[in-house]
Amino acid sequence: MSGLARMLMARECLCTGSDQTSSPVTDGLIADGIDVHAGPAPTELPAGTELVVASAAIAEDHPEIVAARTLGLPVLSYPEALGQLQRHRLSIAISGTHGKSTTASMLCHILVECGLDPGFIIGANCSQIGGGSRTGADTVPQGPHEGESGILVCEACEFNRSFHHHRPDLALINNIEEDHLDIYGSLEAIIEAFREFASLIPPAEDGGSLLIAHDGARRQSITPSLNCHVSTFGFHPEADYQVVYDANVLRIGILREGMWVTHWTNRMPGGHNALNAAAAVILAHQLGAEWDEAAEAMASFNGLDRRMQRLGERKTADGGSVVVYDDYGHHPTEIEQTLKALRLAEKPERLICVFQPHQHSRTRFLLDHFAESFSSADEVIVPRIYFVRDSLAEKQRISAVDLVERLSERGVMANHIPEFDDITTHLEKECVDGDLVVVMGAGPVWNIAHDFMANGT
C-alpha cells in the first residue's frame, strides 16, 4: 500500500492514508509528504476525497469504508488499483507459490544496475534497492523499449485470486503448488487461477511474453491456449533457457539452444535461489539488459530481509558461537529447500529450526507435507500457530501440538514451546558451539531471531 501511494503521488495524485499504529513505514510516508493518520480509524474521510483504496486486511465495516460507501465513492482493493496503474507502465508481474519477493528484488537490482531505472512495488524490504518500492523513470531510458512507458515490477499474488486484477506485459510463473486451500479447495482450482492470470498477458504481436518454469509450474496446463510469447527455464536440458548450478560453489550458468549465454556466482545459496536468480537475469535480458551486465549485477545481489537472511553469529554458553538466520518460509516446500540449502552452505554441527506455522487452515490442509519438510533439521521448536484470517472454528480444529506429534512420528526431534520468550531462553541454554539456528515463518516469529542475537552481545 505504501508503494502504491508513492506511485500515485508521482502521478500528481493527492494521497492520504491511515493505519492502526505508527511505524517506520508510516514515518517514511509522512517524510515523503503523504499525510498519514495513526490510531483509531477516523469516521470521516478527508475533504475532497474522490477514491478510497483499501488493503485486503481492511474489513467492509471499517469506518472509512463505511464513510466511502455512504458518500457513494468508489472503493478499490489494492490489486484493483495496481492493475489500473499497470495500464500506464511497461508492467512485469512476478508470480508463483514461492519466491516472488526474492525474484522481484533480484530483477529490480539488475535493472537498476543496468541503467533501466525501474519502478517497483515489492512485499519485502531490500535495502540494496532502497526498500520495497520505487517510482522509477517515466519512460524506459535505453534498450529495445527506449521511450516507452517506464518499467513497473510487481509481485502478483494468487491469494483470493487478486492477481486477476493485474495487467502485465511480461510475466513470470516460478512454480505452482498447493497453498491457500481455504480459498481454492484444490490444486486444480489453483492451476485454473494461474491459467486465467496468464491469459491476461497481451498477444505476442503486442509484446506480451511469459517466462514459466519448465518443471514445477504446470506449464502443460497453463500455456497451450496462450497467445503471448512463451519461453521456459529450468534445470531440464529441454528448457528454452537451461540453468546449470554447482551447489558447492554457488556457480550458475544459463544455456540457450545449447550455447552458454552467461554465468555468475550467487551470494544466496540453494537450488531454488539459483532458479530465482536465473529467472531474474532472463527477464532483465528480455527488457534490454545485456547478458553479461545482467549476470554481473546478479552476482552483486546481497539478498533481502527475511529471505535466508544471515543475521550473524553470537556467543554460546560454552564459549563458542552459533550462526543465526531469519527466514520468511511458511510453506512446506520453502522450508525443505531452505533447510537443505543452509545445511549444505553452512555445514553446521546441528541445525535447529524454530518454525511458527502461519494460519490454522494452511497447517491443517498441509499437515503431512509439513511433517515431511523438516528432515534436514536436528531439532524443531514450534510456538503457537499464528492466527490470521481463519475463523475461530478453524482455530479449534488444529494446534501446534498436532504438528509436533507428526514430526515426532517421523523421527524428528520436536518440541512445542508456546511463548516466544521461553523459546529464546531455551536457545540460550541449549545452543552450543557449531550450531545453526534458523527462525522461520510469516508471522512475528522473527522477533525470536533478533532477540536471540541481541542477547548475545
pLDDT of residue 356: 93
Task: With respect to residue 350, please indicate whether it lies within any of the assigned structural domains.
Answer: yes
What pLDDT is attached to residue 69?
95
Claim to verify: residue 284 and residue 152 sit in the same structural domain: yes
Which is more confidently placed, 120 or 365? Answer: 120
Query: Is 129 in the same domain as 274?
Result: yes
* 322 and 423 co-located in one domain: yes
CATH code assigned at 356: 3.90.190.20
Residue at a domain's end among 244, 268, 299: 299
Listed range (125-134, 156-165, 269-278) with the worst mean pLDDT: 125-134
Residue 193 counted as domain residue: yes
pLDDT value of position 442: 86
Specify whether 293 is located in the same domain as 316. Answer: no
Res 163 pLDDT > 70: yes
Question: Within a domain: residue 143?
Answer: yes
pLDDT at 11: 85
CATH number at residue 40: 3.40.50
Give pLDDT tens digits for 124-152. Answer: 889 999 888 889 999 999 988 999 999 99
What share of the chain in percent tops pLDDT 70? 100
Do residue 15 and residue 153 come from a single domain? no
On whether both 189 and 335 belong to a single domain, the answer is no
Tell me: pLDDT of 363 over 90: no
The verdict on 89 and 164 lying in the same domain is yes
In the chain, the percentage of residues whose pLDDT exceeds 90 is 72
Model confidence pLDDT, tens digit, residues 309-335: 999 999 998 889 999 999 988 888 889
Q: Answer whether residue 316 is part of any domain.
A: yes
Range of the structural domain that residue 100 is part of: 81-299
Dist CA 116 CA 136 (whole Å): 9
pLDDT at res. 240: 97
> What's the pLDDT score for residue 210?
98
Condensed to tens digits (0 to 9), the pLDDT of residues 290-313 reads 999 999 999 999 988 888 899 999
At residue 417, the pLDDT reads 94
What's the number of domains the chain is made of?
A: 3
- Residues 388-441 have pLDDT tens digits of 777 788 888 888 898 899 899 988 899 999 999 999 999 999 999 999 999 999
Query: Tens digit of pLDDT for each residue in 365-386?
Result: 888 888 888 989 999 999 998 8
Residues 22 and 138 occupy one common structural domain: no
Query: Which domain-ending residue is among 47, 73, 99?
Result: 73
What local confidence, expressed as pLDDT, does residue 306 receive? 85
What pLDDT was estimated at residue 129? 93
pLDDT of 457 reads 60
- My answer on whether 38 and 64 are in the same domain is yes
**Are 192 and 329 contained in the same domain?**
no
The CATH number for 178's domain is: 3.40.1190.10
Residue 304 included in any domain: no
Residue 366 covered by a domain = yes
Residue 52 and residue 152 in one domain:
no
Residue 207, pLDDT score: 93
Q: What per-residue confidence (pLDDT) applies to 93?
A: 97
What are 353's strand-pairing partners? 380, 438
Average pLDDT for 49-60: 90
- Residue 173 is assigned to a structural domain of this protein: yes
Report the pLDDT value the prediction gives residue 59, as an integer from 0 to 100.
85
State yes or no: pLDDT of 164 exceeds 90.
yes
Q: Does 225 reside within a domain?
A: yes
Give the residue from 39, 73, 107 where a domain finishes: 73
Do 285 and 378 belong to one domain? Answer: no
